[in-house]
C-alpha cells in the first residue's frame, strides 16, 4: 500500500472533520476533550483553519493578531467550518507553499511540518467529534497509520505544552486509529 502523502492526508482529515460537523445535532454536547463542548471543539478547528492562509502566505502571529480569537462560528457553525476549511485547503495547495516556513508560537517552522500538525489535529479532533456524536470513526486506517509515523517522534516534545494529553495504553490488537488517538491522550472505546 502506498504511503499517504501530506496533501492527501490533509484533505482526508479535513473531510473527516467536516463530515462530523455536518452531522452535529447538539452543539452543547460534551466531547472527549472534557473542557470543550461540540461547539467549542468546532470553534477551535475553524479558528485553526482561519489562521492557515495568512501563515502560509508569510504573515507573522503579530500580523494576524487577535482576529481569530473568541467565537468564530457565528450563527452558522457549519458554514463557518466549510468556508474556513476550503480557504485552508486552497492555501495548502498553492504551488510551492510546502517549501516555505511559517511563523508559529514556537518560532519558524517548515510548512510541511505545520501541514502535518494541522492534519494530525484535524484527524484526532474528527475522532473526538464523531465520538461525541456517537458516529463511526471517520479516520481511515491508512490515514491513521501514516499519522502515527509522523506523530511518534513529536509526542515526547509535546508533553507539558497543552497540545495533547499524555498517551494512554492500548492493547496490542488495537486498530491504527485507536493507537493514534491513544498516543494523543484519548481513551478509545
Q: Would you call 35 exposed, middle or buried from its count of C-beta atoms within 10 A (0-12, 13-18, 19+)?
A: exposed
Burial of 28 (0-12, 13-18, 19+ CB in 10 A): exposed
Superfamily of structural domain 6-183: dinb family like domain (1.20.120.450)
pLDDT tens, the chain, 189 aa long: 345 599 999 999 999 999 999 999 999 999 998 889 999 999 999 999 999 999 999 999 899 989 999 999 999 999 999 999 999 999 999 999 999 999 998 889 999 999 999 999 999 999 999 999 999 999 999 999 999 888 887 776 666 555 677 777 888 889 999 988 888 878 887
Three cell numbers, residue 160: 507539558
Helices within 38-173 (DSSP H only): 38-56, 61-64, 77-93, 111-133, 141-158
pLDDT of residue 30: 95
pTM to 2 decimal places? 0.91
How much is the pLDDT for 159? 60
Write phi, then psi, for 78 (nearest 5 degrees): -65, -45
pLDDT at position 152 is 80
How far apart, in whole angstroms, are the C-alpha atoms of residue 71 and residue 73?
Answer: 6
Contact criterion met (CB below 8 Å) for 51 and 66: no
pLDDT at position 1, please?
38
Amino acid at each position: 500500500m502506498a504511503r499517504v502523502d501530506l496533501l492527501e492526508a490533509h484533505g482526508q482529515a479535513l473531510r473527516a472533520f467536516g463530515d462530523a460537523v455536518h452531522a452535529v445535532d447538539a452543539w452543547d454536547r460534551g466531547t472527549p476533550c472534557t473542557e470543550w463542548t461540540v461547539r467549542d471543539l468546532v470553534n477551535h478547528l475553524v479558528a485553526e483553519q482561519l489562521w492557515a492562509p495568512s501563515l502560509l502566505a508569510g504573515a507573522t502571529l503579530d500580523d494576524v493578531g487577535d482576529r481569530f480569537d473568541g467565537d468564530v462560528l457565528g450563527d452558522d457553525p457549519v458554514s463557518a467550518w466549510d468556508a474556513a476549511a476550503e480557504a485552508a485547503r486552497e492555501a495548502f495547495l498553492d504551488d510551492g507553499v510546502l517549501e516555505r516556513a511559517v511563523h508559529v508560537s514556537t518560532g519558524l517552522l517548515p510548512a510541511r511540518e505545520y501541514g502535518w500538525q494541522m492534519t494530525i489535529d484535524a484527524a484526532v479532533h474528527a475522532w473526538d467529534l464523531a465520538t461525541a456524536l456517537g458516529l463511526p470513526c471517520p479516520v481511515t486506517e491508512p490515514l491513521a497509520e501514516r499519522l502515527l509515523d509522523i506523530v511518534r517522534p513529536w509526542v515526547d516534545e509535546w508533553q507539558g505544552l497543552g497540545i495533547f494529553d499524555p498517551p494512554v495504553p492500548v492493547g496490542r490488537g488495537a486498530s491504527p486509529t485507536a493507537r493514534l488517538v491513544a498516543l494523543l491522550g484519548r481513551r478509545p472505546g
